[in-house]
Structure 1
């Protein structure tokens, strides 16, 4: 096989399940494992990958994601190569996605992980101190992960509740609007915008008295699926 992976979490999963030698191309954001770029050609970012460079790698299989990769580029690749378009909407969708990967790649590499995740879901823990949260993905403007996202549904698995109840998946929001949401915990992610301590300090100043607790969180743990689930 000659796999080009356009999804960082899928690159990590393919390597973790023993198929590293099959990956010939990946994106610049495929940083797990950290040395993947030594053995796989970087084809660009997740949004602006180089089609001609991908073609030069002569892939037999391409792994993509409906949300992370641009529709027009995916449609072009689908006309030329076998392509699996993934889109898990919650952790509960990951086992079926892994089995689709096995079928697509004609392996049995991902079945053990799929089975392990299903067992974990049966034993999931609901935290007694569940919180109403807002999950930040961007600054200037502030943008959140809405309820209809993998991130929000991941946290909901443990009893947490997204304080933003609108229909937008990734809404822009003002501090004034946040104050009306009865939020208890603000989660500032490391990706796609890498929130830092100074961002939290600036936010507290914007909010003023009564600012909810602010926690920095590794975005990979909540937004990457597969091995990271």
Structure 2
């Protein structure tokens, strides 16, 4: 089977299932894991600006896209010529279903079940009965956070935090004044590359507020990537107790 992946976390998951560069024939420029394998796969543009002609030239048997990551019009154009599977993942249950379905597609159901059992074990964490309220920032100028219908929110709340903005949807803008209501502020490494200098800058407006730089991939990459960050998430959960 020749597969084109339009999402980084999907590409990594395909390789975790044991596929080779002869089977994963196309990937985006943001598909960076696993580095030793993706380097041998043709780049077909970015998640939001696919090179349609390049994809067509690869003549894939299956294209795997994502509702949030990819542009609807481009995906629909590909659907006229190819089989396209559009994933939609905002919860851990969605992720479980994705891995199970992928296992069926690849005839690797037992491996999929193993992945799902291991991921479920990661989130077998006893949460604090009074979890800390977390403001998870993904962007600067303006500051943007995550609502309750995102995969980031799902991971955050399953490691013992409470999303300060869980009453909102998608990726709303927030003010510094609103951040004062958080117990902790998480600044993500992606999509905006927050660094220590940004914490120092924000700290001046929120003196004394606890702030942590967090690995954005650990919160937003679905699929099997969660297995790569188990220790990281467990350590982070201790800071929320």
TM-score (norm 1): 0.90
- Unaligned residue ranges in structure 2 (runs of 5+): 227-241
Structure 1 contact 47–68 (Cα < 8 Å) conserved: yes
Aligned partner of 1:18 in structure 2 is: 18
Q: CA deviation at 1:129?
A: 7.3
* Residues matched between the structures, number: 224
Q: CA deviation at 1:208?
A: 4.1
Distance 1:157 1:208 in 2: 27
- Which structure 2 residues correspond to residues 78-227 of structure 1 after superposition, within 5 A? 78-108=79-109, 109-121=111-123, 123-127=124-128, 130-179=131-180, 182-205=181-204, 207-210=205-208, 212-227=209-224
Conserved 8 A contact 1:98-1:114: yes
Measured in 2, the distance between the counterparts of 1:169 and 1:38 equals 32
SS of residue matched to 1:28? coil
**Structure 1: gaps of 5 or more residues:** none
Q: Which moves more between the two structures, 134-143 or 101-110?
A: 101-110
Deviation, structure 1 residue 77: 1.2
Instruction: State the secondary structure of the residue aligned to 1:35.
Output: helix
Task: Report the Cα offset of residue 106 of structure 1.
Answer: 4.3
> What SS is found at the alignment partner of 2:34?
coil
SS in 1 for 2:138: strand
Measured after TM superposition, the shift of residue 107 of structure 1 is: 4.0
Instruction: Say whether the 8 Å CA contact 2:179–2:185 is kept in structure 1.
Output: no
Structure 1 residues 87-142: Cα deviation after superposition (integer angstroms, max 9, x where no partner): 12112321211111123344435332123334555x33324673100111111111
Any conservation in 2 of the 1:61–1:105 contact (CA below 8 Å)?
no
The alignment's TM-score, normalised by the length of structure 2, stands at 0.86
> Partners in 1 of 2:135 and 2:222 — Cα distance?
20
Instruction: Output one character per residue of 1:59-109: Cα deviation in whole Å (capped at 9) or x when no partner.
Output: 111111100001111111122111111112112321211111123344435
CA gap 1:131/1:20 in 2 versus in 1, 3 angstroms: farther
Q: Give runs of ≥4 in structure 1 deviating > 6 Å.
A: none
Q: What SS does structure 1 have at the residue aligned with 2:136?
A: strand
Q: Is the 8 A contact 1:84 1:104 kept in 2?
A: no
| Alignment check: 8 A CA contact 2:47 2:69 kept | yes
Contact 1:3 1:25 in 2 (8 A): yes
Structure 1: how far apart are the matches of 2:121 and 2:174? 38
Q: Give the deviation of 1:201 after TM superposition.
A: 0.8
Distance 1:66 1:115 in 2: 25
